[in-house]
Amino acid sequence: MTITQTEPANIEELKTKANTKDNWKIRLEAVTELANYDCQKSRYILTKLVSNDRVFAVKEAAFNAAQAMGITKKGLPLELKRKDIRYSSKDFAKVFNRVKRDTQMAEFDLAVFKKQFQIVSPEMYDVMQYEEQENFDLWITSSYASLR
């Protein structure tokens, strides 16, 4: 992979993709493309993703791209901190109770719940969809069942 010392023609599109909070795959695509361009804007976007993204795959890809470019923060090399989604069980309970209240389901319907969950908290939905992968539906079902 060759890193070009120019700004990509579609930098605004890449910035928008990198700031998308409801789809980690789009952010990962943006990181992959930004890794090819060493300019001030791509350096800023990558640094921001290393520091703030909740999906570890995106954070790790941004970190690797930043390392390849030799990006530092305040003169120190960037650090890849341990995996932390920054959601507590109280956060999940709060969102799940809101979704439950909004949908007013007599019986639990996974499809309806997921649709409303994505509307109520798109970032949490995205993070947990990545974290749970194929167990996402099971996680939602069991979390819903444990609500008080």
User: Based on the domain organization, do 72 and 36 belong to the same domain?
Assistant: yes
Question: How many structural domains comprise the chain?
Answer: 2
Cβ-based neighbours of 106, under 8 Å, separated by 6 or more: none
Of 77, 106, 121, the one marking the end of a domain is 77
Which pLDDT belongs to residue 52?
93
Specify whether the CB–CB gap between 78 and 66 falls below 8 A.
yes
Q: What are phi and psi of 4, to 5 degrees?
A: -90, 140
Q: What is the pLDDT of residues 54-70, one digit of tens each?
A: 999 999 999 999 999 99
For β-strands 72-73 and 76-77, DSSP reports them as antiparallel
Q: Which residues, at least 6 apart from 101, have a Cβ–Cβ distance to it below 8 Å?
A: none
Q: What is the extent of the structural domain holding 134?
A: 89-146
Provide the percentage of residues in the chain whose pLDDT is more than 90: 87
At 64, which amino acid appears?
A: N
Q: What is the pLDDT of residues 81-132, one digit of tens each?
A: 888 889 999 999 999 999 999 999 889 999 999 999 999 999 999 999 999 9
Examine the domain organization and report whether 68 and 14 are in the same domain. yes
